[in-house]
């Protein structure tokens, strides 16, 4: 068997947010349960706390679908007509053609740090649509596996990471993806602002904790985008009870671009 992660980055028409949530946690989950190899599905909403607040954040919502299958060419495409149901029902705003569905063959399952609380759900996730420098792939993976993943997942509030490569099997609509690799991180925190600030401080070597990240490997391309999301499956609130209305003007202005 092989782990695959499909991310669905999308927007919902104004006023249809509750309809989308009811569809996702109701009939959509029932349909997903019948898919061969299906493992889990969760839904997330963009947070104002972003580690790279100067980059575009085109999507308010992220849905994550996990499969464990030996035949992704057969099993992954079965998700496409289920997502088309939401599109046909007017629950996805694709007026600007921003919707993206990208499937990744994962290099492995979650690598958790001592921060992880197995009895607690994730409060949110971050994704990096990442790339490595041509000719330096082996170096890139070695740096991530032995240096960067352990140091990132030990930041307070961060608990785990897994990574993957774009799968040959992609779902319609097939659209441009800026990253060949997915870096998928999990959070368990009720203070994401602290987590993001300390991540940035450790990357710059100025964290009050005294912990500093190792220098960023030159094998990792700077052509990457980073996006933080809070879990909303079954809830309409962030951890901490703060409702988010999608106003990106709430981004803190003083976040520094990290080395991660």
- pLDDT tens-digit map of 30-41: 999 999 999 999
Of 127, 115, 112, nearest to 46 by C-alpha is 127
- pLDDT tens for residues 174-193? 999 999 999 999 999 999 99
As given in the structure block, the two tokens for residue 117 are 């609380």
Question: Has residue 53 been placed in a domain?
Answer: yes
pLDDT band at residue 1 under the 50/70/90 scheme = confident
Is 45 strand, coil or helix? strand
Question: Has residue 250 been placed in a domain?
Answer: no
Domain range enclosing 35 = 2-112+119-239
Neighbours of 190 (CB within 10 A): 14
Question: Has residue 257 been placed in a domain?
Answer: no
Question: Has residue 255 been placed in a domain?
Answer: no
CA distance 245 to 247: 6
Question: Has residue 245 been placed in a domain?
Answer: no
Q: How many domains does the chain have?
A: 1
Question: Has residue 49 been placed in a domain?
Answer: yes
Assign residue 38 the CATH number of its domain.
3.30.70.100
Whether 248 has a pLDDT exceeding 80, the answer reads no
With b meaning 16 or more CB within 10 Å and e meaning fewer, what string describes 18-27? eebbebbbee
Task: Find out whether 128 and 176 touch, Cβ atoms under 8 Å.
Answer: no
Task: Find out whether 220 and 183 touch, Cβ atoms under 8 Å.
Answer: no
- pLDDT tens for residues 190-206? 999 999 999 999 999 99
| Cβ neighbours for 81, distance < 8 A, ≥ 6 positions apart | none
Question: Has residue 123 been placed in a domain?
Answer: yes
């Amino acid at each position: 068997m092989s782990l695959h992660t499909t991310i669905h980055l999308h927007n919902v028409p104004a006023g249809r947010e509750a309809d989308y949530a009811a569809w996702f946690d109701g009939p959509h989950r029932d349909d997903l349960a019948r898919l061969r190899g299906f493992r889990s599905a969760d839904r997330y909403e963009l947070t104002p706390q972003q580690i790279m607040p100067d980059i575009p954040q085109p999507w308010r919502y992220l849905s994550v679908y996990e499969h464990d299958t030996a035949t992704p060419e057969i099993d992954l495409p079965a998700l496409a007509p289920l997502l088309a149901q939401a599109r046909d029902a007017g629950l996805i705003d694709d007026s600007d053609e921003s919707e993206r569905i990208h499937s990744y063959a994962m290099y492995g399952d979650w690598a958790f740090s001592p921060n992880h609380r197995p009895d607690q759900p994730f409060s949110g996730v971050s994704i990096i649509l990442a790339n490595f420098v041509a000719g330096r792939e082996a170096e890139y993976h070695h740096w991530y596996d032995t240096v960067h993943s352990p140091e990132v997942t030990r930041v307070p509030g961060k608990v785990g990471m897994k990574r993957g490569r774009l799968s040959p099997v992609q779902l319609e609509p097939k659209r441009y993806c800026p990253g060949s690799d997915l870096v998928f991180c999990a959070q368990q925190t009720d203070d994401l602002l602290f987590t993001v600030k300390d991540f940035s401080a450790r990357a710059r070597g100025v964290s009050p904790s005294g912990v500093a990240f190792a220098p960023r490997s030159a094998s990792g391309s700077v052509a990457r985008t980073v996006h933080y999301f809070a879990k909303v499956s079954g809830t309409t609130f962030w951890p901490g009870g703060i409702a988010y209305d999608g106003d990106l003007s709430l981004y803190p202005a003083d976040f520094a671009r990290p080395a991660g």
